[in-house]
Structures are given as C-alpha cells and as structure tokens.
Amino acid sequence: MDTKNYISRYTPNTSQQKNEMLKDIKGVNSLNDLFADLPSNLVNPQLNLPGPLSELELKNELTYISKLNHTPGEFSSFLGAGSYRHFIPSIVRQITSRSEFMTSYTPYQPEISQGTLQAHYEFQSMICQLTNMEIANSGMYDGATSMAEAALMAVRITKKKRIAVLNTVSPFYIEVLKTFLEAPEIEIDIIHNSNSLSPDTACIILQQPSFLGNLEDIEQFSNLAKKNASLLVVSVDPISLGMIKPPGDYEADIVVGEGQALGIAPTFGGPYVGIFATKEKFIRQMPGRIVGQTVDTNGNPGYVLTMQTREQHIRRDKATSNICTSVGLIALGATVYLAALGKSGLAQISNLCYEKAHYAANLIDSIPGYQVIDNGLFFREFVVKCPISPKKINTLLIENKIIGGLDVSDQIENGMLLCFTEMNSKKEIDHLVDNLKNIQAK
C-alpha cells in the first residue's frame, strides 16, 4: 500500500490539501490566520478530555451510562405531555431499517425514487383519511413547528398579522410559535374563551385534546373564526382520531399535529414527524412537499414531486418552507404503523387509551388528598391535584420503578399531568394507585 500518497476518505482535509487552499487565499499564511478575528480564549481551548478508550471499553462505558436512565418497560411510565409510548408492531422497524429507505435523500429524480415517493404519497393519503381534510403534505419537522408554519400560512392567506392562541395549547408549542413569529413581527394573543377576537386576527389556534388532556368545545371557536373572517387551526392528537370527530367534520381550515404516536418511539424527544393538512383551495400556500400520483407512457402508475415550496427549488421570496427530508423516514414509520393497524386497529388503540385513563382517574380521585381536575371529557391524559408537590411524589414513585406524570404546578397548584395508553396494564395502574395511597398515608 502506498501510504505516502494515501488519502483516507474519512479525513476531510489532508495537510497537502490545506496547504493548497491556503496558497489560493490571499492575506493568510497559516490556518490560524483564518481565525484571527476570534477571541484567543476561544481558539483551541483546553478541553481536559479523558484519554481514548478501546472499542470494548467504550461499549462498556456507554452501557453503564445508558443504565442510569429510567426506561419505560423496565419502569412503568405515566408520562405523556406530547410524547407518548405506544406499542409499535415489528413490521415498522423491519421496513424503516431497509437501506433503500434509510439512505435516500430528497427524491429529486422520480425515475429512481419511486419507492420513496410512493411512501410519501401513502402518508399524505392516510393523513387525509385520518383528519378528513382534502390535502396533506409529506411531513413537517414536528408538531410544534407544524403549528408555527400554520400560523405563518394563515397570515399569508388572510393578509392579517395577528394570531389568537387558546390558553390550553401546549406551553412548549406556544414558545416555538413565539420564536417563529418574532422576526415577521406577528402579534400573538392568548385567549381564554370565545367571547371576543381582534378583527385583524389571521387565525385561531387550538389543541384537541388540550395540553392538559381535556376535549375542547370546538364549535364555539369555529363559529368565532367564521364570524371574524379568520381561519381555524387545530392541532390534533392522531391517536384520538380513532374515536373522536376528525377536524374536517367541523370545518377546520388547517390541521396540524405531532405524528410521533403513530409508530415512533419517544427516543428522548425526536426525531419526530409533523402532520400538516388543509383545504384544497389553500394548497399553494401550504409549506412542505406534496407527492402526486400519475401514469407513465405505458399507463403504469408513477409518483412525482408535484409541489416543492422550499427555497432551494423556487425563488426565495416565493418559498413557503425550508422543510427537507429528515422527516421522510419517520413519516414512513407512521405510514407502516397506520397500514398495519387499519381503521379497526386504530379505533381499538384509541378506545384502550380512553378506557384505561378513565379507569385510573376514578381510582385516583377516590384517594383522600387527591383530586382529578377535569370536566369528565378527556382522552388519555388528565391532571391530578396532589396533596404534596408532584416533584416529591415523582421522586418517591421512581424508588418503586414508576415514572410519574409531568409537574404542571405552574398552571394548577400541585398539579400532575398523568398519561395512560394501551401499554399500561391494569396491574401497572393498580400499582400506581397503591403507591399514591402510601404516599398520602406518610
């Protein structure tokens, strides 16, 4: 082997290549000259890193660190608040781990990307069926950015520069929304009811079910939006659509949501896939990509990128999105999940979540010192007002291999948001209830 002239494909720039580039850059003689404008304390700081490990040592070290996590499965988990643990059929991982899907980027060349394009097309079709909307794109980054993009889309359509957000929307989503709307100077109003609305409001945004788990009375906000010539934007939980009315039935204009629950593991918060659907008349203002079905010269079905609205494809000032392909693989997983379950399977999962949540709520509400805060209309999450701080309760629950709920004391005094899915057995729920009783007894 010629080691002198050998160039590793894993080394981005060899010494020879660096010297050649420096010769072509005027005014610099060394690599350090390129960083002369940076403060000296930030250039090559002392990192105090430990020495290298062998592959065996590294694997053992990472295994040890991973076991410090409290993992659902080993622990029973009742944590939701936007990221949910559901059963994932084995076929989802089997399909998404195939190399032709894992390695493909944006399908610019349809003639060699039919499999990827068809997967996107099927995802769009299923989202339309799930939400009862006319048009869906092939995925956004996540539920929060989907909501923010919907707000921007509503502003483009209505030419108004104010957004109304129901106070029961996820506070995490609202923070993302504020970030997106700051630069274009779009005002945000947090509303509590449907009594009034500013006339320059582009849309009303609500979440169904709400962040705290309750089912909203959509009709009143739908009527308010119509009265004010504003759009109705609804962020939905796709699993809930197995049993509650889809947003298309109450004339939502834009539907968004987090698709993680559709066959994607929580995985420490991502990557996820955002759902985005709308009415056909708004198609040219919708961000993301749309894959269409056509036929080739022989009459066989084929798939193409029908609309590409990101700035790489069209003039930047006309672009409505910068969504790329990172969500394509996740959208594929959601597509396989929905295909595997079918309508009856999704309805069964939805019903199990509902029944288990209400079973748990009845038991917890009967424990002295605990109070379920709800109006009786919730899906799989509800808030419990606890006798002591949720932080203390969660610390005690962990000792018994139970991951408790989210501390929402900033919204409800000593409030804990608990979540129940088909993954929580009756034995697990009863074990949680027994532990809550013991905590109260102490």
Q: Judge whether residue 233 has pLDDT over 90.
A: yes
Residue 210's contacts (CB-CB under 8 Å, 6 or more residues apart) are 166, 168, 169, 216
Least confident residue range of 171-185, 280-294, 300-314, 372-386? 300-314
The Cα 366–Cα 188 span in angstroms is 40
Of residues 132, 127, 170, 133, the one with CA closest to residue 148: 170
pLDDT at position 270, please?
86
The values of phi and psi at residue 435, to 5°, are -70, -40
The Cα 262–Cα 346 span in angstroms is 10
pTM: 0.87
The Cα 174–Cα 189 span in angstroms is 11
Domain ranges of the chain: 76-87+343-441, 90-338
For domain 76-87+343-441, the CATH superfamily is: Aspartate Aminotransferase, domain 1 (3.90.1150.10)
Q: In what order do the strands lie in the sheet with 381-385?
A: 371-373, 381-385, 415-419, 406-407
pLDDT at position 64, please?
96
Average confidence score pLDDT of the chain: 91
Strands 406-407 and 415-419, by their bridges, are antiparallel
pLDDT-derived band at 5, boundaries 50, 70, 90: low
pLDDT at position 105, please?
64
3-state helix, strand and coil shares in percent for the chain, rounded to the nearest 5: 40, 15, 40
Average pLDDT score over residue span 381-401: 96
Q: Judge whether residue 175 has pLDDT over 90.
A: yes
pLDDT at position 104, please?
63
pLDDT-derived band at 155, boundaries 50, 70, 90: very high
pLDDT tens digits along 114-127: 888 999 999 999 99
Q: How many other C-beta atoms can be found within 10 angstroms of the C-beta atom of residue 385?
A: 17
Q: Judge whether residue 310 has pLDDT over 70.
A: no
Least confident residue range of 38-42, 164-168, 252-256? 38-42
Beta strands in 193-300 (DSSP E): 203-208, 231-236, 254-258, 274-278, 289-295
Give the whole-number percent of the chain exceeding pLDDT 90: 70
Give me the CATH code for the 90-338 domain, please: 3.40.640.10
Q: Where are the alpha helices (DSSP H) in 268-327?
A: none
Lookup result for tokens 């000032």: 317
pLDDT at position 305, please?
85
- What are 294's strand-pairing partners? 302
The Cα 389–Cα 414 span in angstroms is 5
Interhelix angle 390-398/426-441, nearest 10 degrees:
120
pLDDT-derived band at 152, boundaries 50, 70, 90: very high
Matching fold, domains 76-87+343-441 and 90-338: no
pLDDT at position 4, please?
62
pLDDT at position 6, please?
65
Interhelix angle 426-441/328-365, nearest 10 degrees:
50
Q: Judge whether residue 262 has pLDDT over 60.
A: yes
Q: 160: which 2 tokens?
A: 């108004």
pLDDT-derived band at 351, boundaries 50, 70, 90: very high
Beta strands in 33-186 (DSSP E): 76-77, 135-136, 162-166
